[in-house]
Structure 1
Amino acid sequence: MAESLAGAPSLADRAQQILHTACQTVGLDHRGAELLRLRSNAVYKLKDPIIVRIATAPTAAEWLPAVLAVTRWLDQHGFPTVRPTDHITDQPLMCSGVAVTFWDYVPASDLPSTTSELGRLLRDLHAFPTPPIALRRLVDPLASLRANLQQHPDNLTPSERGWLSHHITDLTEQWEQLPFVGPPVLLHGDAWIDNLFRHRDGHVILGDWDSVALGPREWDLIHSHHGQTRFGLNQHDVDAFTTAYGHDLRAWPGYETLQRIRDLYAVSIHIRNAHGDPFSHQELRRRMRSLIEGTTDRWYMKPT
């Protein structure tokens, strides 16, 4: 049975243990590893340099083979994506029930990527044919939230659980009635500006494909609009994204409903990680308070 990294007393301490074991297994040196991110994955940069991603989701081993296959396929077809390390072929690696993957390091520029570049990449991605890979279909974007609410009820108060349960049911029903335009496309699934990296040579690369799926293009587009509502993007950022993609989601009749679904979706990872990660515990409190009170308070991706 798969275990969850998030159930440990300290998410960071548990990740360090897994990192040590995983690197020993494949013959890499974990000493001096730099923790880059701790959220849906614990992401480390090794001195080699290689990126190690340690999944916090207990079911990650079920869908990571498709993630690895899609990124290799996209790279072969010229799409600018992160790619799994070639010399570690047996991925994902399972360590104490936790899924670990290894990726080529992208030497980064100090220049930030832009929402215009993200819009162009998503336009190109959505024009790709369906890859010859068994991919998940996005038919229920709140499934992970529903599961985390059931598996980690103690990370919420009774009133918060009741509020979430009601709104999950309501918005799931509304999702099923949304007037999506066009056939399903290849979705990145978490198409947010922070997942776009600028290589030292100047070009941009799209990373973090854990949510890749087939589904309505509107799901990839809503992330940048939601970024203006919650994560500090401004009107210019969103307008530039819309112009580059070539379609204005704000004119679509399902826009407001999809914004509310994306709002709810954004608490799921923090329900899962709140027990072992102080930032997730704090951010869960912030997001639940904002949702219940109906405010548009700023949310955060990392400690400030």
Structure 2
Amino acid sequence: MAESLAGVASLADRAQQILHTACQTVGLDHRGAELLRLRSNAVYKLKDPIIVRIATAPTAAERLPAVLAVTRWLDQHGFPAVRPADHIADQPVMCTGVAVTFWDYVPCSDVPSTTSELGRLLRDLHAYPAPPISLRSLDDPLASLRANLRQHPESLTPGERDWLSHRINDLTEQWKQLPFAGPPALVHGDAWIDNLFRHHDGHVVLGDWDSVALGPREWDLIHSYHGQARFGLSQRDVDSFATAYGYDLRTWPGYEALQRIRDLYAVGIHIRNAHGDPFSRQELPRRMRSLIEGTTDRWHMKPT
């Protein structure tokens, strides 16, 4: 099993070490690399420019070959997805058990992407046939949370662990009863507005395909509605998303249950990273408190 980045004292320090080693392995210069994100992946931009993604999840090495294959397949079929840097052979590159991938850099405009654009891209994505690639089935979205709780119990108090364990079991049963419409589709798996990048020529590109799967379309849609509940998207943002997609998930009978599942899912990354990342240590108690108390407090995506 791959080693988790979060298994050391400092997530950022460990990521920097792996960046150095991975770049040496493929003949790239890591000097002056810019850290763009440190969450479910450590993401760096090299001067070349190339994007380097260092996986924090222990299961990444198993999933990433399919991620690379799907994004290549989508690019061949004209879908605006980020592209692997294919002049770097034999990805993912393994460094002391951690999986590293290299991607073409998207030179971004200052004009933000919109939820309307995200809705249209997801509508197009969900109309694609299943690609000729072995993909995981999204039949248990809380599986990763269950694993994080088992592997990192020290991130929570005993009372939080007990509450969360029971809540996972309850919502897993609710997931099994949801009235999903239509057969499984190709889903992005983390279809959040922050993963939509505007190229400087104006078109938008969808990134971060680590959670790609075959599963219910509703899972891709719920992220934007959850964004209004927790991360500051406006009513207008969500209405625009629904209009662009051509369907409003709020009319679906499973909507409230799926919101609860998505809400719970969102603590997993912070359980995994809490002892190696100061932001996760701060954010995890906030999220757990609001879940246990049933409040709709605003959550943070990055340090404030």
Give the structure 1 partner of residue 151 of structure 2. Answer: 151
Moved over 6 A (4+): none
Give the structure 2 partner of residue 166 of structure 1. Answer: 166
Deviation sequence 1:274-302 (CA, Å, 0-9, x none): 00000011110110011011100001111
AA matched with 1:154: E
Give the structure 2 partner of residue 67 of structure 1. Answer: 67
Q: CA deviation at 1:86?
A: 1.3
For 1:95 and 1:154, how far apart are their aligned partners in 2? Answer: 26
Please state whether the residue corresponding to 1:186 is helix, strand or coil.
strand
Q: What are the residue-to-residue correspondences of 1:1-304 with 2, within 5 Å?
A: 1-304=1-304
- The alignment's C-alpha RMSD in Å is 0.4
For 2:163 and 2:228, how far apart are their aligned partners in 1? Answer: 24
Alignment gaps of 5+ in structure 1: none
Please state whether the residue corresponding to 2:174 is helix, strand or coil.
helix
Q: CA deviation at 1:24?
A: 0.3
For 1:103 and 1:27, how far apart are their aligned partners in 2? Answer: 15
Q: CA deviation at 1:2?
A: 1.4
AA matched with 1:12: A
AA matched with 1:131: P
For 1:34 and 1:8, how far apart are their aligned partners in 2? Answer: 21
For 1:118 and 1:76, how far apart are their aligned partners in 2? Answer: 20
For 2:2 and 2:226, how far apart are their aligned partners in 1? Answer: 32
Q: CA deviation at 1:260?
A: 0.1
For 2:2 and 2:214, how far apart are their aligned partners in 1? Answer: 25
For 2:24 and 2:17, how far apart are their aligned partners in 1? Answer: 11
For 1:204 and 1:184, how far apart are their aligned partners in 2? Answer: 25
Deviation sequence 1:89-109 (CA, Å, 0-9, x none): 210000000000000000000
Q: CA deviation at 1:38?
A: 0.2
Q: CA deviation at 1:51?
A: 0.2
How many residue pairs get matched? Answer: 304
Please state whether the residue corresponding to 2:103 is helix, strand or coil.
strand
Q: CA deviation at 1:132?
A: 0.1
For 2:111 and 2:219, how far apart are their aligned partners in 1? Answer: 27
Deviation sequence 1:192-224 (CA, Å, 0-9, x none): 000000000000000000000000000000000
AA matched with 1:128: Y
TM-score of the two chains, using structure 2 as the length reference: 1.00
Alignment gaps of 5+ in structure 2: none
For 2:167 and 2:253, how far apart are their aligned partners in 1? Answer: 20
Q: CA deviation at 1:3?
A: 0.7
Q: Give identity over the alignment, percent.
A: 87
AA matched with 1:239: D
Please state whether the residue corresponding to 2:214 is helix, strand or coil.
strand
For 1:162 and 1:81, how far apart are their aligned partners in 2? Answer: 40
